[in-house]
Amino acid sequence: MISNQSSSNSNAFAELSIRADYTEIRIASTWLAQTCLGFSVPVGQIDRLDICLNEALANIIEHGGDEVTLSPINLRIQINNDSFSSEVAVTVSDSGKAFNPLTFEQKDRAHLLENTEPGGLGLTMMKEFVDKLNYLYSDKFNHLIFSVRWDCN
């Protein structure tokens, strides 16, 4: 685990590298919470980011293939403040198989318990709990960027 952090009056960022291993997800969550609390991000916004981060990392580790272990997963928190609002953006970069969660077609969910297949909820949670979700693939890395925004007053 490698971390880095910087801040000014209106902008700040922090970075962390983790291994592609399920046991590292909680480390990432703890880092996210501590970093955001240090920058006075409201707890409710941290919860939203945490949900998306957990699901993103679980997907990467489960579906990233052998390639995902070739490089650490890099995490970056970027905090932007202006007079009226604040935004926190989290970028998750991994060397796993290319996967765009924005274009992945999900099955319709069953409405009866007996017909429900466990699983497939992670993408739904990622899309529902953040304000913006973007994806790009460059230099053999997936980059997932998600953010939440809130008014200052």
Interface with another protein by CB under 8 A: which residues? 22-23, 25-26, 29, 47, 50-51, 54-55, 58, 109-114, 116, 118-119, 121-122, 124-125, 128-129
> 4 or 106: whose CB is closer to another protein?
106
Distance, in Å, from the CA atom of 122 to the CA atom of 120, rounded to the nearest integer, reads 6
Q: Are 144 and 135 in contact (CB under 8 A)?
A: yes
CB of 115 to another protein, least distance (A): 9
CB of 21 to another protein, least distance (A): 11
CB of 56 to another protein, least distance (A): 11
> 77 or 126: whose CB is closer to another protein?
126
Residue type, position 96, single letter: G
**Where in the chain does DSSP place strands (E)?**
2-7, 11-18, 73-81, 85-94, 132-138, 141-151
Q: Are 90 and 53 in contact (CB under 8 A)?
A: yes
| Backbone CA torsion sign across 69, 24, 27, 123 | positive
> 72 or 122: whose CB is closer to another protein?
122
CB of 11 to another protein, least distance (A): 28
Reduce the DSSP state of residue 41 to 3 states and report it.
Answer: coil
| Backbone CA torsion sign across 53, 54, 60, 63 | negative
> 52 or 89: whose CB is closer to another protein?
52
> 125 or 145: whose CB is closer to another protein?
125
CB of 29 to another protein, least distance (A): 7
